[in-house]
Amino acid sequence: MSITVDQTWVYRFHDQLLLTYQQKGSLLQNKLDPGMVHKDVNAHVDFHERLGLLMANDVVNPFGPTVILNPEHSRRAVRLISSDAAVLVSDEHSLRAMVNPQNGYTNTIVHAIGRRVDKHIIDALVGTAETAAVGEGTGTITFGTQALPSGNIIGGASAFDLARTISANEKLSKNGVPTGPGQRKMLYSAGQLRDLLAITQASSSDFTKNQIHDRGTIDGIVWEGFEWTEIQDVVNPAGTVVHNMLPLVSTTRSCIAFATSAIGLSVGRPAGAPQINQRPDLQSNPIQVRQAIMMAAVRVWEAGVIKVNALEN
């Protein structure tokens, strides 16, 4: 055999573009109460109107004056935010390649938009909500802020355990949050998975029918009154975290228990089909693949949101 036979070796390439592991689309938008989602909002600021609760009065004197109740009105404000994802495809590059990246780019930006929707919702759940009030007799709108109360935060950096889960459920119930199928959600990250799988009451058939060790996850399972959803960080192919979806400070991850009716979403432009257009303003007249949304979220009811801090493994 000739020692230069390696000059005949073939290098094989493929025309299939493989996408990085990633969340495909929004996980949270469809989990919200439909009545809390405002569609086709043509405005800079949208309001979510709130009405306080009352207790009926006993009738002591059937012929006495009727006691008139005065329910409290208030509102939360949403300032719509535009977000987009765009990539250029030029034949100056594609004619030199076996791979046509247009379909891959399209799928990638669709997934990127879905993650941005979820980030809007997550940030609104545990962030500072914007309030709005009309001045009596003036009609002037005054904007303010409302942080998540400290009583709605389960602190510490301990492992996510049964006690934390029960405490979150208990706090929601004490706040009058409805129970029942689909009413309460729990968001966690993969950094809590090992601790959740180690909870006997979550995995043992003595306590539950959920076979989470067979599935290797509690994602999508209903347990302790919550539907559990794993929210993954945005990670690049090297395994480096690019964006934290659920808040993370050092080794403390903020998981979130919430009622589907606690968060309001205002949508000015939904995530429709990506737009594919040529860009004659650029020298090579490339194709632009772009998708855009205009939306924002706001916490409407503090009573329906509990931040559960837990150890990030």
CA distance 54 to 70: 8
Per-residue model confidence (pLDDT) at position 200: 93
Q: What is the pLDDT of residue 190?
A: 95
The pLDDT assigned to 59 comes to 92
Per DSSP, the three-state class of 5 is: helix
Asked if 196 contacts 178 with a C-beta cutoff of 8 angstroms, the reply is: no
Other residues' Cβ atoms within 10 Å of the Cβ of residue 311: 17
Rounded (10°) CA dihedral 86, 90, 94, 99 = 10
Taking Cα atoms as reference points, which of 102, 97, 115, 157 lies closest to residue 21?
A: 115
The residue type found at 189 is S
Domain architecture of the chain: domains with CATH: 26-49+74-311 (3.90.1690)
Residue 309 has a pLDDT of 97
What is residue 139's predicted lDDT score, i.e. its pLDDT? 80
In the prediction, which pLDDT does 297 show? 97
pLDDT at 194: 96
CA distance 299 to 58: 34
Residue 19: CB atoms within 10 A of its CB come to 11
pLDDT at residue 87, as a whole number:
86
What pLDDT does residue 225 have?
A: 94
Alpha-carbon distance values, 116 to 27, 179, 192, 229, 303 (Å): 11, 29, 22, 17, 25
* pLDDT per residue as tens, the chain (313 positions): 677 878 777 777 666 666 677 777 789 999 999 999 999 999 999 999 999 989 999 999 999 999 999 999 999 999 999 999 998 887 777 766 655 667 777 888 888 899 999 999 999 999 999 999 988 778 889 999 999 999 999 988 899 999 999 999 999 999 999 998 899 999 999 999 999 999 999 988 888 888 899 999 999 999 999 999 999 999 888 889 999 999 999 999 999 999 999 999 999 999 888 888 888 898 888 888 889 999 999 999 999 999 999 999 9
